[in-house]
Each structure stands twice: as C-alpha cells, then as structure tokens.
Amino acid sequence: MTLDLFAATDPYQPIAPGAMLLHGFALADADAILADVQAIAARAPFRRMFTPGGQAMSVAMSNCGSLGWISDRHGYRYVAADPDSGQPWPPLPPRLLRLAGAAAERAGFPAFVPDACLINRYAPGTRMSLHQDRDEQDFTQPIVSVSLGLSVTFLFGGLARSDKAARLTLSHGDVLVWGGPARLRFHGVLPLLDGRHPATGACRINLTFRKAG
C-alpha cells in the first residue's frame, strides 16, 4: 500500500513511454512567465491563424525564439519573422529557456535547447483538434508544454489518428514533456470551460517549447 500511496502523491507522473506530466513544475515561476508572455505579446500580438483549408483556428497564437510556428493557406511551418510585422519573433527569455531545459532533463531528455516557443491562448469554448507535431526537423528532441491559468482536458492519443485517446487534466503550473517514443502521438484539447483563474482571468495560456530547426 505504501507504493500505491507514493504513486498517488508523486507530482511527477509517467504518462506513457517518453511522456511525463510534471505537476506544478512551473508553479513558482508562473507569474514571471505570464509577465514574459505579456511582453512578448506587446511585440508579437496574439492572432488567429488560418488552416491551409482556409478556416480560422479558434486558438490565438504568438511565438518567441529564433523560429515561430505559423499556419496559413500555404501550410504549417516555422519562420524566423512574424508575418504580421516582418520583424523577428521576440527572443526566448532566459528564464523560459532554463525552465524548459530543467523540465526536459527531469523527464529524461538532457541538453534540450529549444529555438522556438509557440504560445497558445484559449478563451472559453476554444479547442485544439487532434494533431501530431511534425513540422520540426529533429524528432529526437522532445516538446515541453507549460500550462497556465484555467485547467483543460488534454487528449493523449496514439500513433494513429484513430487510436483511442486518454484524457488528462492540465492545470496552472503543470508541465508536460513529450518525446522519444511518444514524440509523434496524436493529441489535442477539449473546448475550454467557462471560468476565471486568478493568474490569467478567463483564459488558458499554453507554451510549447520545441527544437524546430
């Protein structure tokens, strides 16, 4: 029974081979990260991007780092400049680089140095449909995902779109690390429920750190 009790209270949970949920890992840095996000959004405002099919995505996005992920009629890709301004994306703040590296290391991926950070802002009702992250060059590198503000139900699927997806709750300060054999799993998030969080108000912010180039 001691073992069960330990498993239930360990904040760092393996979800699947290559995937680990670090509950509360970013909690101490949350306010500072949100200040960083605000400064980034002042230079590269959140915007709704369009899918190649021409549909506006419900989630609003920005980026920081030497590369930023975009979607438009020409497809999904990483670019060095914000297409709205023509300027380079704001740099990745050192605090965020350190946090992402520490989380990756804790999950078994040492020496992770991201060059891209996609920032997603969800309002109530917005969702992310099932997808794979496959626009990066090097699938040996993991993805580190930081959740802030309102909690959401994350869908964690398999390597085929039709595989049944598990559900897990991502809350303020949680970090999900995702690499190795889990790197190409399908995933998404259910529509965000109404609510207010003291740190973010009526939204959820998700940062995903990647080695894109």
Q: Binding residues for ligand MD6, per CB under 6 A?
A: 120, 128, 133, 143, 145, 154, 176, 178, 187, 189, 206, 208
136 touching Fe ion, by CB under 5 A: no
Which residue's CB atom is positioned nearest to Fe ion?
A: 133
Place of tokens 């449909």: 129
36 touching Fe ion, by CB under 5 A: no
Helix (H, G, I), strand (E, B) or coil at 147: strand
Q: Report in angstroms how near the CB of residue 178 gets to ligand MD6 at its nearest.
A: 4
**For ligand MD6, which is the closer residue by CB, 44 or 61?**
61
Q: Report in angstroms how near the CB of residue 112 gets to ligand MD6 at its nearest.
A: 13
78 neighbors 66 (Cβ within 8 angstroms): no
125 neighbors 154 (Cβ within 8 angstroms): no
Q: Give the one residue of 133, 155, 173, 212 binding Fe ion; rule: CB under 5 A.
A: 133
| Partner whose binding site includes residue 206, from ligand MD6, Fe ion, none (CB under 5 to 8 Å by kind) | ligand MD6
Tell me how far apart the alpha carbons of residues 30 and 21 are, in angstroms, rounded to a whole number: 17
**For ligand MD6, which is the closer residue by CB, 29 or 88?**
29
Tell me how far apart the alpha carbons of residues 117 and 69 are, in angstroms, rounded to a whole number: 8
Helix 94-106 vs helix 30-43: angle between axes, to the nearest 10 degrees? 130
Q: Report in angstroms how near the CB of residue 143 gets to Fe ion at its nearest.
A: 7
H/E element holding 97? helix 94-106
Beta carbons within 8 Å of 86's beta carbon, 6+ residues apart:
none
* Footprint on this chain of Fe ion (rule: CB under 5 A): 133
